[in-house]
Amino acid sequence: MHAVARPVNRAVAVVLAGALTPAFGPVHALSGALWQIVHEQCVVHTHAHESPAPCTEVVMEGPDAVAAENSGYAILKDRRGKVQFLLIPTRRLLGIEDPVLLRDDTPLYWQKAWVSLHFIDELRGDPVPREDLSLAINSVWSRSEDQMHIHLSCVRDDLRGRLLASQSQIGESWSLLEGGWVGHALWVRRFIAEDLSGIDPFRDVAAHVPNARESMDRFGIAVVPFRFSGGHNGFVLIADPVDLALGGLGSAERDVQDHDCAVLH
C-alpha cells in the first residue's frame, strides 16, 4: 500500500554525558496533541482517500495497513514560525529516547524529513538555499509533546556563521565544538553527502557520542546542511546535551533553528 495525500496547496570536560545526569527528570507535563492530530485526523482522512488535513501530507507504505502505518509519517505545518513544519511518525513513538529509533528496521525519519523540506519552498513560493535549512529534535527536558517529531525550519544565522568559522575544526569523528555554543557544549561531526540516506543521526549519536546510548533522552539532535571548503555539499551533525548547570536543556530546536528565518533576509 502506498498512500500519499496532499492538500491543494565552556566546551569543558564536565559536559560529558556521564556528568550531565541530573538526579531528577523534566518537570513539565507532556502533551498528546500531536499524536491525536496525526492518528485521529490526518491518518483517518488519508485512509478515507480524503485530504490529510490538518496535515500537509501523509505517506504510508507497506504490504498491509499495519505495516504501512508502522512505517508512515505525516508532515504538519507548525503554528509557530513562518515556515516551520514537523515530521511526525504515524506509529506511536514517544520521542528521542524511544528504543525503536535505534533498530535497524526503523524507517530513516531524518531522510524523510530532508526530502520533505520542499514544503518550505512551496510555502514561500521561492526555493530556500540548502545551507539556510535545518532539522532538529529536542531532548525530553525541552520538548512539550510526547509524540516523536522532527522540526523542519531555518537555521540560526549566527550558528551558521559560527560553523563556517569553525569548519576546519569539525572532523568526521565526533568532537566538542571549541568554545561551546550559547553557554554550553555541543558535540559536532561532519560528513559529505547530498542527502541523509547514508546515515541515521539517532544511531550515529547513540553509537559514537560518549554515554549517549544509555541516556538518549538527555540529548537533542540537529542536522545542518553545509557547503564545505572545496565546494563539497554535506552536513554538520549536532548532539546537544542536557547540562543543567550551564542551562543546557538539549533544545536543538532553540539552539539551532530560527523560525523567523532571519537568515533569508
CA 236 to chain centre: 13
Taking a C-beta distance cutoff of 8 angstroms, is the pair 89, 109 a contact?
A: yes
d(CA 188, CA 172): 9
244 sits in the region (left: phi over 0; alpha: psi -120 to 50; else beta) called alpha
Instruction: State mean pLDDT over 27-38.
Output: 80
Q: Please check the confidence at residue 108 and state whether its pLDDT lies above 50.
A: yes
Instruction: State mean pLDDT over 16-24.
Output: 36
What pLDDT is recorded for position 252? Answer: 97
Neighbours of 150 (CB within 10 A): 27
Task: Report all structural domains of the chain as residue ranges with CATH numbers, in order of start.
Answer: 2-9+29-264 (3.30.428.30)
Percentage of the residues of the chain whose pLDDT score is greater than 90: 82
Question: What grid cell was written down for 259?
Answer: 523560525
Taking a C-beta distance cutoff of 8 angstroms, is the pair 57, 45 a contact?
A: no
What pLDDT is recorded for position 30? Answer: 62
Q: Please check the confidence at residue 12 and state whether its pLDDT lies above 80.
A: no
Q: Where are the beta strands (DSSP E) in the chain?
A: 2-5, 57-61, 73-77, 85-89, 133-137, 150-155, 175-176, 187-192, 219-228, 232-243, 248-249, 257-258
Average pLDDT, the chain: 89
Tens-place pLDDT, residues 123-172: 999 999 999 999 999 999 999 999 999 999 999 999 999 999 999 999 99
Tens-place pLDDT, residues 210-260: 999 999 999 999 999 999 988 999 999 999 999 988 889 999 999 999 999
Q: Please check the confidence at residue 25 and state whether its pLDDT lies above 60.
A: no
Q: Please check the confidence at residue 86 and state whether its pLDDT lies above 90.
A: yes
Taking a C-beta distance cutoff of 8 angstroms, is the pair 170, 176 a contact?
A: no
Q: Please check the confidence at residue 1 and state whether its pLDDT lies above 70.
A: no
Which among 42, 26, 184, 44 is positioned nearest to 94, based on CA atoms? 26
Q: Please check the confidence at residue 17 and state whether its pLDDT lies above 80.
A: no
When mean pLDDT is compared across 7-16, 135-144, 177-186, the lowest value belongs to 7-16
pTM greater than 0.95 (yes/no): no
DSSP 38: I
Q: Please check the confidence at residue 20 and state whether its pLDDT lies above 60.
A: no
When mean pLDDT is compared across 11-15, 95-99, 112-116, 217-221, the lowest value belongs to 11-15
Neighbours of 143 (CB within 10 A): 25
* Phi, psi (deg, nearest 5) at residue 248: -85, 125
When mean pLDDT is compared across 19-33, 52-66, 189-203, 232-246, the lowest value belongs to 19-33
Q: Which residues contact 254 (CB under 8 A, 6 or more apart)?
A: 142
